[in-house]
Amino acid sequence: MNPVVELNHKFSFDSAHSLPNVPEDHKCRRLHGHTFHVEVQVSGPVGETSGWVMDYGQMKEVVRPVIAQLDHRHLNEIEGLENPTSEHIAMWIWNRIADGLPGLTAVCIHETCNTGCIYRGQ
């Protein structure tokens, strides 16, 4: 039996957003920006011949076009991200990459170096 290993790869994008559902006086209701850091994780058995779970290049091929849809955008203007919280961004990315990444286990979003969320699918 081959051991199961979890791989991850980090991506980033710069975007502006506002959170329309917070109180009027909340600082995040105003338009502001972040350099979002995204970590995508997949899990699976280590291939006997390849020695890996998945080629990192395959992860990049699937994830980079999705990240490009978010980079230097006003996230509120993207369909499905009208309330672009980290939680919604993680789910939005998951829904666009899951079919292309067998073994997807998590999408992690970090708005700042101290704050973030992890979405593990349904």
Q: Both tokens of residue 78?
A: 């993207």
Query: Which of 17, 108, 110, 111 is the catalytic position?
Result: 111
CB count within 10 Å of CB 82 equals: 12
Residue 86 phi/psi, 5° resolution?
Answer: -55, -40
Tell me if residue 72 is catalytic.
yes
Looking at the DSSP assignment, which residues form a beta bridge with residue 117? 109
Contact 108, 118 (CB under 8 A): yes
Distance CA 119, CA 88 (A): 9
Query: Which of 26, 72, 82, 87 is the catalytic position?
Result: 72
Tell me if residue 108 is catalytic.
no
- Whole-angstrom distance between the N-terminal and C-terminal Cα of the chain? 27
Query: Annotated active-site positions, please?
Result: 28, 72, 111
